[in-house]
Chains A and B, each alone.
Chain A
Amino acid sequence: DTGVSQDPRHKITKRGQNVTFRCDPISEHNRLYWYRQTLGQGPEFLTYFQNEAQLEKSRLLSDRFSAERPKGSFSTLEIQRTEQGDSAMYLCASSLGWQGGSDYTFGSGTRLTVV
Chain B
Amino acid sequence: DQQVKQNSPSLSVQEGRISILNCDYTNSMFDYFLWYKKYPAEGPTFLISISSIKDKNEDGRFTVFLNKSAKHLSLHIVPSQPGDSAVYFCAANWSGNTGKLIFGQGTTLQVKP
What are 7 A-B pairs at a CB distance below 8 A? A40-B9, A45-B101, A98-B98, A100-B93, A101-B46, A102-B49, A109-B43
Give chain B residues whose Cβ lies under 8 Å from the Cβ of A109: 43
> Smallest CB-CB separation from B42: which chain A residue?
A108
Interface size on B, residues (CB 8 A): 24
Taking the complex as formed, is A112 at the interface, i.e. its CB lies under 8 A from any CB of chain B? no
Chain B residues engaging chain A, CB cutoff 8 angstroms: 4, 6, 9, 32, 34, 41-46, 49, 89, 91, 93, 98-106
Q: Contact check, A55 vs B99: say whether CB atoms are below 8 A apart.
A: yes
> Smallest CB-CB separation from A31: which chain B residue?
B99
Q: Contact check, B103 vs A93: say whether CB atoms are below 8 A apart.
A: no
* Size bin of chain A's contact surface: 20 to 34
Taking the complex as formed, is A65 at the interface, i.e. its CB lies under 8 A from any CB of chain B? no
Taking the complex as formed, is A25 at the interface, i.e. its CB lies under 8 A from any CB of chain B? no
Taking the complex as formed, is A33 at the interface, i.e. its CB lies under 8 A from any CB of chain B? yes
Taking the complex as formed, is A48 at the interface, i.e. its CB lies under 8 A from any CB of chain B? yes
Taking the complex as formed, is A42 at the interface, i.e. its CB lies under 8 A from any CB of chain B? yes
> Smallest CB-CB separation from B47: which chain A residue?
A102
**What are the 9 closest A-B residue pairs judged by CB atoms, nearest first?**
A106-B43, A42-B103, A45-B100, A48-B99, A101-B101, A43-B103, A42-B89, A102-B49, A106-B44
Known A-B contacts A56-B99, A101-B91; the reply to A40 vs B105 at CB < 8 A is yes
Give chain B residues whose Cβ lies under 8 Å from the Cβ of A107: 43
Contact with B along A93-115 (1 / 0, CB 8 A): 10000101111111111000000
The residue from A44, A100, A105 contacting B103, defined by CB atoms under 8 A apart: A44
